């Protein structure tokens, strides 16, 4: 499905198709056809009514614009859609028309339809997160020993490795995906409660119909209808927001590292990707930009969803009616962020020489902490701090910090030449960086394996 201009920077073609008019109508009609089959299976409606209802329950038979316009008058598009479905069934088999939407209410259709779409969205997320995971894992392993600057408050700090930095991104993505999967598992359930949430219209066969319909649609069956209890969906929206925020952090890091003055990494290059309409020399961080835009939007959308949770009694006025647009926007924004960062990670260009050059460009000042520790052990903290301060002042005027230290008699008396030489080696001051990296990679893989096993149990 082609993107619309208005949402071209807020979704992907796959996600846009999931939330298209045809998809949404199709999901609603899947509910109606499944309901007819389920009710016939337990003797609530005649078996002869099923085929005419199934035959009419095809999205291409309906004009979405007309139904949407009528929905503005009825307060839900379920009412005009059911009316149109009943008319089409009546044209084929008048007696079957009486059993369209039997015992259900409008919210049953609307809620189950959005759940069916979310079920398909889950598959897209799983695929794109797996793509991102594979790319980040490859970069982390390949750059386990690639030394670079860590940066705190945007300033040079101490040496770290690019492998650890990438593992940090990946760890956050995997934790977020575990939460998203758990939330999907809880939220993908049928809604069928009838007029007041009791299924009284189906007599003693309400639960049997509900269980059959859940099987028909491959959804979970809840303990009871959840018309005004939106906690499961809220949990999913929050989990998606955390995923988007974690991706936004990764995008922020990469976009900063792409600045010309830093130039340590770069997004993949492709025709028409990341250019400027005015400056031909530019290669903009387009994937990061789209992800950051999503991360800017999603928190407000989640806030809107959380506000809509306060719903009155057994059917809300204005609560669930607001949710389709909000859910659609959150899911599509998160989907865009995942796909964008997967593309970025897949083709990310890493300039290890520039990382080392930026590290060397600090003129050794990033070793001040290490020098202070060594000297404090020999001279005491106050004396060591005084020497470090003098060396840093000289370095600010263009001298190398370690060279200045080596020329100080007070330093030469307590630190031998081998120690001073080693002081210049960033690889000697990485602490537990590699252990942290491998911990992240190992623990997150275990977490994902446990998640896969739990998914198998749920299915």
Annotated domain spans of the chain: 1-104+190-222, 105-189+226-362+431-459, 365-423
Residue 280 pLDDT more than 80?
no
- 1-104+190-222, which class in CATH? mainly alpha
Q: Is 437 a catalytic residue?
A: no
Is CATH 1.20.200.10 the classification given to domain 105-189+226-362+431-459? yes
Mean pLDDT, the chain, whole residue set: 93
Residue 443 pLDDT more than 90?
no
State the Cα–Cα distance between residues 152 and 430, nearest whole angstrom.
16
The per-residue pLDDT for 273 is 61
Q: Which tens digit of pLDDT belongs to each residue from 361-375?
A: 999 999 999 999 999
Q: Is 120 a catalytic residue?
A: no
The per-residue pLDDT for 277 is 58
The per-residue pLDDT for 459 is 37
Q: Which tens digit of pLDDT belongs to each residue from 104-124?
A: 999 999 999 999 999 999 999
Residue 449 pLDDT more than 70?
no
Q: Considering 218, 276, 386, 449, which one is annotated as catalytic? A: 276
Q: Considering 175, 315, 356, 424, which one is annotated as catalytic? A: 315
Mean pLDDT check: name the lowest of 4-13, 188-197, 308-317: 4-13
The per-residue pLDDT for 6 is 80
Q: What is the reported pTM?
A: 0.92
The per-residue pLDDT for 458 is 45
């Amino acid at each position: 499905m082609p993107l619309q201009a208005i949402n071209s920077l807020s979704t992907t073609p796959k996600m846009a198709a999931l939330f298209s008019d045809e998809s949404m109508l199709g999901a609603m009609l899947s509910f109606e056809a499944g309901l007819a089959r389920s009710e016939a299976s337990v003797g609530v409606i005649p078996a002869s009514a099923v085929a005419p209802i199934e035959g009419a329950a095809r999205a291409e038979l309906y004009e979405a614009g007309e139904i949407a316009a009528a929905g503005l008058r009825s307060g839900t598009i379920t009412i005009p859609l059911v009316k149109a479905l009943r008319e089409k069934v009546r044209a084929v088999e008048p007696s079957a028309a009486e059993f369209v939407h039997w015992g259900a209410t409008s919210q049953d259709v609307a809620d189950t339809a959005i759940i069916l779409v979310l079920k398909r969205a889950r598959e897209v997320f799983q695929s794109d997160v797996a793509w991102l995971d594979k790319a980040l894992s490859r970069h982390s392993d390949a750059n386990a020993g690639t030394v670079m600057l860590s940066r705190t408050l945007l300033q040079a700090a101490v040496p770290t490795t690019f492998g650890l930095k990438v593992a940090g991104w990946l760890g956050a993505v995997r934790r977020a995906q575990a939460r998203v999967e758990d939330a999907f598992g809880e939220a993908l359930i049928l809604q069928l409660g009838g007029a007041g949430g009791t299924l009284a219209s189906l007599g003693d066969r309400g639960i049997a119909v509900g269980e059959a319909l859940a099987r028909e649609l491959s959804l979970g069956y809840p303990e009871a209808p959840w018309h005004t209890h939106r906690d499961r969906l809220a949990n999913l929206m929050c989990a998606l927001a955390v995923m988007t925020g974690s991706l936004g952090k990764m995008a922020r890091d990469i976009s900063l590292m792409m600045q010309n003055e830093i130039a340590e990494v770069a997004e993949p290059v492709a025709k028409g990707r990341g250019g400027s309409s005015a400056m031909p020399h530019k290669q903009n961080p387009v994937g990061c930009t789209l992800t950051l835009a999503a991360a800017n939007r999603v928190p407000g959308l989640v806030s809107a969803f959380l506000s809509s949770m306060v719903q009155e009694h057994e059917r809300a006025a204005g609560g669930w009616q607001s949710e389709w647009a909000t859910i659609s926007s959150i899911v599509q924004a998160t989907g865009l962020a995942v796909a964008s960062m997967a593309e970025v990670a897949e083709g990310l260009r890493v300039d290890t020489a520039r990382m080392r050059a930026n590290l060397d460009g600090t003129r050794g000042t990033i070793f001040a902490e290490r020098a202070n520790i060594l000297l404090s052990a020999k001279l005491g903290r106050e004396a060591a701090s005084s020497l470090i301060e003098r060396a840093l002042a000289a370095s600010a005027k263009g001298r190398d910090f370690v060279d200045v230290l080596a020329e100080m008699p007070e330093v030469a008396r307590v630190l031998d030449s081998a120690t001073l030489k080693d002081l210049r080696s960033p690889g000697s001051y990485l602490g537990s960086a590699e252990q942290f990296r491998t911990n992240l990679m190992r623990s997150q893989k275990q977490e994902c394996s446990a998640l896969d096993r739990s998914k198998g149990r749920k299915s």
